[in-house]
Amino acid sequence: MAILGKNKILPLLEKSKGSSGHRLLKFIARCLPRYERCTCKECEVLSGIFGNAFWHENVSPALHHWLNTESATKLPMSAFPHLRRICNSGYIVDSNGNNSFLIHPERMAISTLYISGGRSLLVTPETSYLANKYMKLHQPGFRHERAVVDGFGHSDLLIGEKSHEKVFPHIISHIRLAEQEGNDLTPRKKDSKEALDWGDDPYREYGDFGCWIFALAITFFFLLLHVLFW
């Protein structure tokens, strides 16, 4: 964040004007290792900062062009200190690092559906596994489901060319079932054996090795920068 100076909004378009700090950050972002490379410089910057959000083969060229030339032309960076606190904590916290949300499960009285990509990218299916277990434990009166869709990574679950065939049916089915149960006066079972079973996630095998390699590659890259420039 110190690289950016006072202006925390990073222009992503290649032709955009920016400070020397902006240009340096974009250069570093493009150099970072990642799962997939792209010929689009804007895409390289965005994936360098966040990590690859989707598998390119799942996204149409037209949508890819729109994402990088019209949708995401500027990136506000002021939220990154908050994101860093969340990542360091291992669970969602407020901007001051306090556990202000998970301690109040009574506020989340709603049915939920968690969908993860089976081809792990950016986040692993373990995140949806833990969230689903949390809600089943604390809100057993509502429907909570989880789906892991093979071949998808992260945001391509919603923007992929095949999302309407492989992802959206899970959403439609969940909404219908949740609405039906909402009209049913029979309460759901309060104590769920499944919710209390915190065994290994059956989808845990997805992407574990790749995630470790990616993390080690980033660590090595920053060590190399430290040796070269400091």
Tell me if 88 is assigned to some domain.
no
pLDDT on residue 3: 66
Residue 172 lies in a domain: yes
The encoded tokens of residue 130 equal: 């833990």
> Which structural domain range is residue 130 located in?
104-206
pTM score, two decimals? 0.77
Residue 2 predicted with pLDDT over 80: no
Q: Give pLDDT, residue 122.
A: 82
- Yes or no: say if 144 and 112 are a contact pair by the CB < 8 Å rule: yes
Residue 143: what pLDDT? 94
pLDDT, tens digit, 9 for 90 and up, residues 64-91: 999 999 998 998 888 889 998 998 998 8
- 3-state SS assignment for residue 142: coil
Residue 225 lies in a domain: no
Q: Count CB-CB contacts under 10 A for residue 110.
A: 11
Region 96-101 average pLDDT: 94
* Cα distances (Å, whole numbers) of residue 77 to 3, 31, 50, 82, 228: 11, 19, 11, 10, 26
Predicted confidence at residue 218, as pLDDT, reads: 46
> Does position 144 have pLDDT exceeding 90, yes or no?
yes
Residue 66 and residue 129 in one domain:
no
Looking at the structure of the chain, the number of domains it has is 2
Q: Domain boundary at 46, 80, 114, which?
A: 80
**Model confidence over 99-114: pLDDT tens digits?**
999 999 999 999 999 9
Mean pLDDT of the chain: 83
The DSSP code for 9 is E
Residue 117 and residue 76 share a domain: no
122 inside domain: yes
What confidence tens digit (pLDDT) does each residue in 120-136 have? 888 889 999 999 999 99
Task: Verify that 115 and 189 share a domain, yes or no.
Answer: yes
| Structure tokens, 96 | 């001051």
Residues pairing with 75 in the sheet: 10
